[in-house]
């Protein structure tokens, strides 16, 4: 396993311990960071890359030692300290479902309000925001179906579960949102060419302003509410609510300027909203695509796994392989450990199985596979990938 330079010291301790010069267990308390240099002036931290890299290095090391301490709790008591119980997980699932239902109901009500604002104002920017709300309803339906499907496992048709439906649902959601951008760009370009002006009725303008301000305030509150949860689908709603706060604000501002200053500001604002839509959701699509095709975990996470594996059992002589890669929103972990060749099969089985149980208790791990061997000089046993 290749490790970055920032974790070399910790892994050197792991290697030295295997030579018998130290007790077999590694103690997180044995690791100490060197004295941290005094914080440089704010200007240096902002504009000098060297100071920024040093600060980032120390933060990573502090995070690594904290992770080691968490792994100590699993090694000593058999479970992750502070992990939620089954009842707490069920309550959290209900709360997350409520967040999704509230978001869908709010999207429906706000969509009706924005339809009225679009009719009275004829503002292209407001219309673009209204189309966004319509797609919110459609995408919300997609995510709702995905969330419910994940809660109904079928070990025969889906033997490893349905958690991969989560990033798939987010990709569909993001793709639908991105299509809005192209439609708005074409329509705004047509309006500029035709020099079509928005409605300049003062009474209708006040109604439009009131509705858009109300919608923006509700969306901002929903964004804060959904950000309280770690569920990726609820987080997708939070991102969508934040997106709506931005687009509603731009739509309202450009609609007012289009009426009171220059008519072309309104379609230009709609184009800005479209560009923001495309760039935002394109990033979301790519992030979830990489999670589906098996992107490796960061070196810091592999280091944490290595620490847990080494401290699992005294008879582990070598750690041949530690892999962790995404297969949806969580990691699949593959571990190869070396045990004494004369160990009984039943004992080797118990060591490997108990290690698998420990690894699967980590919240980021969906499944773990532990391979037990008696030596590590052989060629890789899996077919090499191209």
Note the pLDDT tens digit of each residue in 142-187: 767 776 777 777 777 777 777 777 777 777 777 776 777 777 787 7
Per-residue pLDDT at 362 exceeds 80: yes
Measured in Å, how far apart are the chain's first and last C-alpha atoms? 19
- Structure tokens, 32: 């100490």
Strand 318-326: give its sheet, edge to edge.
318-326, 331-338, 365-373
Q: What is the pLDDT of residue 201?
A: 64
Cα→Cα distances 198→172, 244, 353, Å:
33, 22, 69
Local structure of 322: helix, strand or coil: strand
Other C-beta atoms within 10 Å of 22: how many? Answer: 13
Q: What is the pLDDT of residue 146?
A: 72
Residue with more model confidence, 197 or 278: 278
Local structure of 147: helix, strand or coil: helix
Per-residue pLDDT at 271 exceeds 50: yes
Beta bridge partners of 365: 331
Per-residue pLDDT at 43 exceeds 60: no
| 292-296 average pLDDT score | 84
- Structure tokens, 53: 């890299």
Q: What is the pLDDT of residue 372?
A: 92
Distance, in Å, from the CA atom of 320 to the CA atom of 298, rounded to the nearest integer, reads 18
Distance, in Å, from the CA atom of 34 to the CA atom of 32, rounded to the nearest integer, reads 6
Residue 323's φ and ψ, nearest 5 degrees, are -125, 140
Long-range contacts of 101-105 (CB under 8 A, 24+ apart): 102/222, 102/225, 103/140, 103/222, 103/226, 103/237, 103/241, 104/137, 104/140, 104/141, 104/144
Rounded to 5°, angle at Cα 78 from 73 and 83? 65
Residue 202 belongs to what H/E stretch? helix 202-226
Domain 5-81+296-373 has CATH 3.30.70.1350: yes
Long-range contacts of 157-161 (CB under 8 A, 24+ apart): 160/366, 160/367, 161/366
Cα→Cα distances 303→70, 300, 384, Å:
13, 5, 24
Residue 336's φ and ψ, nearest 5 degrees, are -115, 120
Rounded to 5°, angle at Cα 224 from 223 and 226? 65
- Structure tokens, 144: 């709702």
By residue count, the chain amounts to 386
| 215-224 average pLDDT score | 86
Are 5-81+296-373 and 86-292 in the same CATH fold? no
Give the model's confidence band at 347: pLDDT under 50 very low, under 70 low, under 90 confident, else very high.
very high
Task: Give CATH superfamily name and number for 86-292.
Answer: Cation efflux protein transmembrane domain (1.20.1510.10)
- Domain edges within the chain: 5-81+296-373, 86-292
């Amino acid at each position: 396993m290749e490790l970055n330079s920032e974790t070399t010291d910790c892994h050197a301790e792991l290697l030295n311990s295997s030579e018998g010069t130290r007790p077999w267990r590694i103690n997180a308390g044995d690791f100490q960071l060197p004295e941290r240099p005094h914080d440089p002036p704010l200007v240096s931290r902002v504009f000098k890359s060297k100071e920024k890299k040093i600060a980032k290095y120390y933060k990573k090391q502090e995070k690594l030692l904290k992770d080691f301490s968490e792994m100590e709790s699993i090694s000593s008591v058999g479970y992750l300290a502070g992990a939620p119980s089954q009842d707490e997980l069920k309550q959290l699932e209900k709360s997350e479902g409520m967040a999704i239902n509230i978001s869908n109901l709010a999207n429906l009500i706000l969509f009706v309000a924005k339809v009225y604002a679009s009719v009275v104002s004829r503002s292209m920017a407001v219309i673009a925001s209204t189309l966004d709300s319509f797609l919110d309803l459609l995408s919300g339906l997609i995510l709702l179906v995905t969330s419910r499907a994940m809660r109904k496992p079928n070990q025969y048709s889906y033997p490893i579960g349905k958690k991969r439906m989560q990033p798939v649902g987010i990709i569909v959601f993001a793709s639908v949102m991105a299509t809005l951008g192209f439609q708005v760009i074409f329509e705004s370009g047509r309006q500029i060419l035709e020099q079509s002006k928005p409605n300049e009725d003062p009474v209708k303008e006040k109604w439009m302003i009131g509705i858009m301000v109300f919608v923006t305030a509700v969306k901002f509150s929903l964004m804060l509410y959904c950000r309280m949860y770690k569920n990726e689908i609820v987080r997708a709603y939070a991102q969508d609510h934040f997106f709506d706060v931005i687009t509603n604000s731009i739509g309202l501002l450009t609609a007012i300027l289009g009426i009171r200053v220059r008519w072309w500001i309104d379609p230009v604002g709609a184009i800005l909203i479209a560009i923001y839509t495309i760039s935002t959701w394109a990033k979301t699509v790519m992030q979830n695509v990489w999670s589906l095709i098996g992107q490796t975990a960061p070196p810091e996470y592999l280091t944490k796994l290595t620490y847990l594996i080494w401290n699992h059992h005294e008879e582990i002589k070598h750690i041949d392989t530690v892999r962790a890669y995404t297969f949806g929103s969580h990691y699949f972990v593959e571990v190869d450990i070396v045990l004494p060749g004369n160990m009984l099969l039943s004992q080797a089985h118990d060591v490997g199985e108990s290690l698998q149980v420990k690894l699967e208790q980590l919240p980021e791990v969906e499944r773990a596979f532990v391979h037990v061997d008696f030596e590590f000089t052989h060629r890789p046993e899996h077919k090499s990938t191209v």
